[in-house]
Amino acid sequence: AQKITQTQPGMFVQEKEAVTLDCTYDTSDQSYGLFWYKQPSSGEMIFLIYQGSYDEQNATEGRYSLNFQKARKSANLVISASQLGDSAMYFCAMREGWGNTPLVFGKGTRLSVIA
Partner 1 sequence: DTEVTQTPKHLVMGMTNKKSLKCEQHMGHRAMYWYKQKAKKPPELMFVYSYEKLSINESVPSRFSPECPNSSLLNLHLHALQPEDSALYLCASSQDQGVSTADTQYFGPGTRLTVL
**Gap between the Cα atoms of 114 and 17, Å rounded:** 10
Using CB under 8 A, which of 1, 57, 62, 102 touches partner 1? 102
Contact status: 99 vs partner 1 (CB under 8 A): yes
Contact status: 91 vs partner 1 (CB under 8 A): yes
32 vs 68, which CB is nearer to partner 1?
A: 32
Contact status: 44 vs partner 1 (CB under 8 A): yes
Give the CA dihedral 17, 18, 21, 22, nearest 10 degrees. Answer: -130
Contact status: 64 vs partner 1 (CB under 8 A): no
42 vs 115, which CB is nearer to partner 1?
A: 42
Antiparallel, parallel or unpaired: β 74-79 and 109-114: unpaired
Binding site for partner 1 (CB under 8 A): 31-33, 35, 37, 42-47, 50, 52-53, 91, 95-103, 105-108
